[in-house]
Amino acid sequence: MAGSYRWVIVAAGGVLSCVAAGAVFSLPVFLLAMSRETGWSVTGISSAMTIGFLAMAFASMIWGSLSDRYGPRPVVLAGSVILAGSLALASRAPSLIAFQLLFGLLTGGAVAAIIVPMMAAVTGWFDTQRSLAVSLVSAGMGMAPMTMSPLAAWLITQYDWRTAMLVIAGVCTVVMIPTSLLARRPPRMEDEQTTNGESPQPLSGMTVAQAVRSPQFIVLLVANFFCCATHSGPIFHTVSYAVTCGIPIGIAVSIYSVEGFSGMFGRLAFGIMGDRFGARRVLVAGLLAQAFGVLAYAFAGQLGQFYGVAAVVGFIYAGVMPLYAVIVRENFPASMMGTIIGGTAMAGSLGMSTGPLLGGLIYDNLQNYAWLYVGSWGMGIAAFVIAMMFKPFPKPALAPAAA
């Protein structure tokens, strides 16, 4: 699709995903201050994040379907309003359970209304450079640890957690609501006859019911679940693991920053490779590399080793994630992009919810994290094998040119 506005959509998606992800992941920054000021347990506060992932999972297909029907703008606008409102309400929560519901349930559901429709919209705006465009939107989430997280850290040193969270809600209001008005339905939502004038598009006669029952959708669903389960535990527990290796907590936190910074380059690199070599081929290779990348954490013990593994793992896992949306766009009708991408996002969020719990259980029972990384490697191999099973839909034959 020609036209410069498609890059406006990419920029809007990057800004929205950065602020939305940063708002949600401000919780770990506020965690200890919240516990000290309220007396709520760290476990109880942290569980709001698990609730958020579950809410994100179950809301993804709903918001995706609504964006298919009404377009991305009203859905993304609603998500932005709900996100800002839920953060403001959570900052005034009178009890732990109220905070868990307001921050976890509402905020998690609101983020799904932003990420999924924007990803779906971007896939429809691009015929060429599609992998790169989707990766750039996803890169917004990679910017969150370098923008929103430092802001949250500064706020918590200046104010109590309630005021700091209220300021974050204000940032969401000021930035996200106007930006969401830039979202626009792709100019051709009906299925085109060709992609780049050469390859036929997926059959337009496919219904949503047929799509969600197809082996292609199920394979993507399961592969994304195991893919996210692979890196979920390492992302959540690696700082704690580094502390058990004798690295001070203030320095250990920087491992997460290295992972996030490396992920910025991974998204760009995998986007370019996906356009050149094919999204499916690059995804499969990336999943295999991710499995052995997380396993390498089990052999790290010094800060330099943690930095090296974090750079590799961040580069890979951040790079593979946007490719699922590209594969969906290549195999399913444009009219159901929100629903199908929402389904894969649902599976990914469920996978992400497993890591914190399983890692905690492993450490509590074994007093070390080694088996967390071995288990993550096993889930990574499962993701690789399942992705290998994906077979694209047969392409319809091109109609013969008129004489």
Each residue's pLDDT expressed in tens, for the chain with a length of 403 residues: 446 888 898 899 999 999 998 888 788 778 778 888 898 887 788 788 888 888 888 888 889 889 888 889 999 999 999 999 999 999 999 999 999 999 989 998 999 899 888 988 888 888 777 788 888 887 787 777 778 878 888 888 889 999 999 999 999 999 999 999 999 888 765 444 444 444 445 555 778 888 889 999 999 999 999 999 999 888 878 877 888 899 887 787 778 778 888 988 888 899 889 888 998 999 999 999 999 999 999 999 999 999 999 999 999 998 898 899 889 888 888 788 888 888 888 898 889 888 877 887 888 788 888 999 999 999 999 999 999 999 988 766 544 544 4
How high is the pLDDT of residue 334?
A: 79
Cβ density class 136-170: b for 16+ within 10 Å, e for less = bbbbbbbbbbeebbebbeebbeeeebbebbbbbbe
Domains observed in the chain: 1-189 (1.20.1250.20), 199-393 (1.20.1250.20)
- DSSP for residue 321: T
CA–CA–CA angle 57, 60, 62 (5° rounding): 125
H/E run at residue 61: helix 42-70
Measured distance CA(296)–CA(113) in Å, rounded:
35
Q: Phi-psi category of 149—alpha, beta or left, where left has phi over 0 and alpha has psi -120 to 50?
A: alpha
How high is the pLDDT of residue 363?
A: 80
Residue 55 CB partners (closer than 8 Å, separation 6+): 104, 105, 106, 107, 108, 109, 112
Residue 398 CB partners (closer than 8 Å, separation 6+): 193, 194, 200
- In total, the chain counts a number of residues equal to 403
How high is the pLDDT of residue 299?
A: 94
Q: Which residues, in sequence order, are bridge partners of residue 156?
A: none
Contact 48, 106 (CB under 8 A): no
How high is the pLDDT of residue 233?
A: 86
How high is the pLDDT of residue 2?
A: 44
Q: Concatenated DSSP letters for 2-39?
A: -STHHHHHHHHHHHHHHHHHHHHTTHHHHHHHHHHHH-
Give the residue among 21, 283, 35 at the shortest CA–CA distance from 144. 21
How high is the pLDDT of residue 3?
A: 63
Q: Concatenated DSSP letters for 82-100?
A: HHHHHHHHHTT-SSHHHHI
Residue 205 CB partners (closer than 8 Å, separation 6+): none
Half-sphere exposure of 8 (CA within 13 A, CB side): 12
Match 């300021």 to its residue by tokens.
167
